[in-house]
Amino acid sequence: MVVIDAIVRLLPGAIGAETGAADESFADGLLEYPQYTRPREFRGMSVPDILLSGNHAAIAKWRTEQRKVRTKERRPDLWERRDAEKDK
């Protein structure tokens, strides 16, 4: 199933929007940002206020920062590779 999913995503229109997979994990060397859903609070965890603000620019900035933080914490090897590619 994983192989089928990976191949089908390469087909034009398979995901819907052309940029649908652009911010998924590994699309640009970063892990994906955290995902939240309802309710606003679940088992002591709350949705960050910025995501409820309606400010799309601020949300995009938050997501980018979260992707960087997650990658540094969980996959330092990817972060180092990304830094090395920037230096070239």
Quick: pLDDT tens for 46-62: 999 999 999 999 999 99
Does the model's pTM come out above 0.75? no
b/e sequence 23-32, b meaning 16+ C-beta within 10 Å: eebeeebbbe
Q: How far is the C-alpha of 71 from the C-alpha of 79, rounded, in Å?
A: 6
What domains can you pick out in the chain, each with its CATH number? 22-87 (1.10.1270.20)
E strand residue ranges, 1-88:
41-42, 45-46
Name which residue leads in pLDDT, 27 or 8. Answer: 8
Task: Tell me the backbone φ, ψ of residue 42, rounded to 5 degrees.
Answer: -145, 120
Burial class (CB in 10 A: 0-12, 13-18, 19+), 5: exposed
